[in-house]
Amino acid sequence: MISSVLAIDWSNYWQQSIFRVLGAAIFVILGAGTFVIAFLFKMMSYMQSRLGPMEAGPHGTLQLLAEVGKWLQKEDLVPARADRTLFKLAPYIIMASTFLVVVVMPFGPDAYFVSVDTGIYLALALSSLSVLGIIIAGWASASKYSLLGGLRAAGQLIAYELPMVLAVVGVVIQAGTLNLQGIVAAQHQGEIFGWGGIGNPFILTQLVGFVVFLIATQAELAQPPFDMPVAESELVTGYMTEYSGMRFLLFFIAEFASAAVFAALAATLFLGGWAIPFVDLDDNVMNVVGPIVLFVKMMLVGALIFWVRFTFPRFREDQLQAFAWKALIPLALVNILATMVLKVAF
């Protein structure tokens, strides 16, 4: 494995690109899979005083493979009155928007696809494409439950884009750049009150921003307490009600891949990304260790997201909107103001 990695001719564009695409796909899928196993199957079960899946693999770790196999062999149903093209298209839009965010995410000093100067802006814009997929799924299913779920998603996901963007603006002001690689560097090389030991992970100075970003992420992923689009006890599965078999599996993977990608984004923005304190930014070993570090940080953020998910009931749609517009956005604006003032003052 190591020799095959070393045998790659890094100056060859095509070999590099294939490796990067594979690496990114593996990272996202592995992240999604680990999220499902560690949090959905095990952490949720332990919080409910039960064991979760135990049969497939040691302690049920291969349960995901069994689930994938189960979903694959189910009948592929398209409702009679559904709009066939749009119905089939919707999951792919969501998957595409999730996987595309990885294009701007840095995994190491040289391990990235592109390092654009508007990195985080591009990431947020790409991630908001999934709203389109959800609305298409809700309408094209020709079922009233799906329609309700899709419409709720439309309102909710668009409303919660704003707090997310505003929370990120605080980070951007502090880092001075929109480039994600630059944000990682700013955290690594920053100082807390003059001490540069562990750099300056923005979670310390931007705690309010971190909280707002996490809440907005929870809403973007349509997870409880913001899972009105998928309100299981009212709308069966909301916009996903009419999907079965492989198509539902795509939605499922997309949901957890989004969770993984957003958690990785939060780790990059607030926890320092792929960098660790005492190792130089340019060190070549970080090209291999960086993704692992990012993975670990992603799991930490994911643990927070899922802990909140399994504890709280869900908001009603109007309460959700009121919370976004009347509570989160003013909070994020105040955060930006404070960051601006403090950045100039210090």
Side-chain-facing half-sphere of 101: CA atoms under 13 Å: 29
Structural Rg of the chain based on CA atoms: 21
* Least spacing, CB of residue 61 vs another protein, in Å: 13
* Least spacing, CB of residue 236 vs another protein, in Å: 6
Sign of CA dihedral 12, 15, 21, 23: negative
Contacts with 176 (C-beta within 8 Å, 6 or more apart), sequence order: 182, 186
Interaction pattern, residues 236-275, with another protein; x per rule: CB under 8 A? x---------------------------------------
Interaction pattern, residues 191-220, with another protein; x per rule: CB under 8 A? ------------------------------
26 burial type by CB count under 10 A (0-12 exposed, 13-18 middle, 19+ buried): exposed
Tell me how far apart the alpha carbons of residues 201 and 9 are, in angstroms, rounded to a whole number: 35
Region near another protein per CB under 8 A, out of 5-13, 70-78, 145-153, 284-292 = 145-153
Tell me how far apart the alpha carbons of residues 152 and 154 are, in angstroms, rounded to a whole number: 5
Interface of this chain with another protein, residues 70 to 99, rule: CB under 8 A:
79-81
DSSP 282: S
**Closer residue to another protein, CB minimum distance, 127 or 218:** 218
**Closer residue to another protein, CB minimum distance, 55 or 282:** 55
**Closer residue to another protein, CB minimum distance, 99 or 248:** 248
Which among 168, 200, 173 has a CA at the least distance from the CA of 184?
A: 200
* Least spacing, CB of residue 156 vs another protein, in Å: 12
Interface of this chain with another protein, residues 16 to 55, rule: CB under 8 A:
43-51, 54
**Closer residue to another protein, CB minimum distance, 152 or 188:** 152
Please identify which residue in 318, 344, 345, 346 interacts with another protein, judged by CB under 8 A. Answer: 318
Please identify which residue in 128, 283, 317, 321 interacts with another protein, judged by CB under 8 A. Answer: 317
Apex 28 CA angle, 232 and 158, nearest 5: 50
Cα 36 versus chain centre, distance: 13
* Least spacing, CB of residue 152 vs another protein, in Å: 8
**Residue 208 near residue 216 (C-beta atoms within 8 A):** no
* Least spacing, CB of residue 271 vs another protein, in Å: 20
**Closer residue to another protein, CB minimum distance, 152 or 247:** 152
- What phi and psi values does residue 189 have, to the nearest 5 degrees? -100, 0
**Residue 160 near residue 212 (C-beta atoms within 8 A):** no
Q: Is 58 in the site for another protein (CB under 8 A)?
A: no
Structure-token match 């020709």, residue found: 142
Which residues bind to another protein, rule: CB under 8 A? Answer: 43-51, 54, 79-81, 142-145, 147-148, 152, 224-225, 227-228, 231-234, 236, 307-308, 310-319
